């Protein structure tokens, strides 16, 4: 998949004096059926997460609190995306290597995923990923 397919998706933001509300609906806001949601938190300063790619899985990555960067790599080029708005999500298509870094203190990263956890879907070795995408 080309890197250009990984885009920021604007999610609904309903604001009033009591605070804001954002929601995500399958196939309305994400181009897949939602099968799993997980989140990263208490990431130590200077730590990185990710460091893998998926064969089939699609994701929407959201900074629920604080901020962090996502480095996307399709095997030919890389791009860094800074996430810091809870009403925006980064759509990551299959066959994109991703690394998350630059976590601010207290940040929370929520990931909405298209499949249940399946270790066989992961590329955890960058050279094996490059071999298959090239």
Set 29, 52, 54, 82: catalytic member: 52
> What is the C-alpha to C-alpha distance for residues 98 and 19, in angstroms, rounded to an integer?
32
Q: Which two tokens stand for residue 36?
A: 């799993």
CB–CB of 110/84 below 8 Å? no
Element (H, E) at 132: helix 126-133
CB–CB of 77/12 below 8 Å? no
82 carries an active-site annotation: no
Active site residues: 52
């Amino acid at each position: 998949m080309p890197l250009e397919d990984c885009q920021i998706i604007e999610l609904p933001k309903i604001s009033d004096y009591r605070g804001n509300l954002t929601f995500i609906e399958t196939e309305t806001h994400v181009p897949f059926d939602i099968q799993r949601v997980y989140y990263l938190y208490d990431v130590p300063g200077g730590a990185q997460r990710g460091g893998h790619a998926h064969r089939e899985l699609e994701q929407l990555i959201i900074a629920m609190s604080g901020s962090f960067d996502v480095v996307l790599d399709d095997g030919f080029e890389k791009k860094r995306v800074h996430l810091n708005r809870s009403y925006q999500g980064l759509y990551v298509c299959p066959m994109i290597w991703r690394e998350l870094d630059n976590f601010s203190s207290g940040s929370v990263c929520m990931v909405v995923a298209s499949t249940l956890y399946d270790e066989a879907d992961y590329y955890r070795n960058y050279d094996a990923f490059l071999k298959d995408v090239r």
